[in-house]
Amino acid sequence: MIDISQQINKARKEWLTNRSKLEAIRFNKLSERSKKTGRITLLDHLAPYLTLSLKMAGVYRWGHDNALSIVLKEHELFFEQLPKAFDGYRILHLTDLHIDCLPGLENVICDIVEDLRYDICVMTGDYRLGAYGEYTENVTEPLRKITSIIQAPDGIFATLGNHDTQSVVKILESMGVQMLTNETVPVFRGLDKILFTGTDDPYIYFSNQITESLKTPHHEFKIALVHTPELYKEAAANGYHLYLSGHTHAGQICLPNGIPIISHLNKGKHLVAGLWKEGNMTGYTSAGCGTSGLPVRFNCKGEVTLFTLRRG
């Protein structure tokens, strides 16, 4: 009989082989200019000009200050299938830190998290601004500060985003984070348990291994941790009860009333922010903590999210 640690080790080896190939393909497709400048997307190339335009319009400081004014959002979620021992279970959700895009953000996050009480912390990817290359101290040190202040009895579970390469796995694991790369792990309360499944990023690094990892026992209470909400149909079809994601930044730069201009989603564009339902599954798309491209937010706040699970 194969125990869960052997299953995880096998899944990790398969994931690492596949992820390394996908990262190499992506890197080789970049132009030499992109490799030298680190600018990959159209937004990366336009960022200096957009920054200048915002400064000339006199709104850059407003947007920057708004980006640092992240908020705590709390949600109480009810599930008939939740095991009794997990009634009141609290999940702290952090995502899209992009911690080197907005210096000082780690201090704001720590100030919010420091006095909170929760059972587990989950992080769903995009820990830096760049999409390839080494993880420098302006990324690792703020991450170390955040992970050191998190006091979760059941630990920290984390997945990767489209800005993350496989090399960050060892970095985060050295900080006491349990990485889930197309893996499922149980959390127990006596004889009761819930399952957490963490997948690789489906936005850039989609593979069949991702969808296979969601094929877990239907009779269990299951939570999916995915960088984007784009696997909502697959997770719901496989009997997941809760789906936590980010990636969209809730638009980051929005029209009045928080209407996103861009969703950054290949599918499920109606799931750009907040709570949603797919069949019997509850989902949440966080606005994330940080910013990408430009260190500004307009008509949209970054967030730290705290969920309380209730039976009923």
In three state form, how does the secondary structure of 8-33 look? HHHHHHHHHHHHHHHHHHHHHHCCHH
Give the residue from 90, 105, 46, 136 showing the smallest Cα distance to 288. Answer: 105
Query: Do 269 and 232 meet the contact criterion of CB atoms below 8 Å apart?
Result: no
Average pLDDT over residues 78-88: 97
Residue 45 banded pLDDT, cuts 50, 70, 90: low
Handedness of CA 91, 75, 245, 88 (dihedral sign): positive
More confident residue, 257 or 249: 249
Tokens matching residue 221: 């209470």
**What pLDDT score does 230 carry?**
96
pLDDT at 138: 95
Q: How far is CA 261 from the centre of its chain?
A: 21
User: Is pLDDT above 90 for 307?
Assistant: yes
> How far is 213 from 202, CA to CA, in rounded Å?
12
pLDDT(37) > 50? yes
The average confidence (pLDDT) of the chain is: 92
Residue 32 has pLDDT above 90, yes or no: no
Structural domains in the chain, sorted by start: 4-311 (3.60.21.10)
Neighbour count for residue 18 (Cβ, 10 Å):
19
Contacts of 17 (CB under 8 A, 6+ apart): none
Tens digits of residue pLDDT in 60-80: 999 999 999 999 999 999 999
CA distance 286 to 302: 8
Other CB atoms within 10 Å distance of the CB of residue 155: 16
pLDDT at 203 (0 to 100): 94
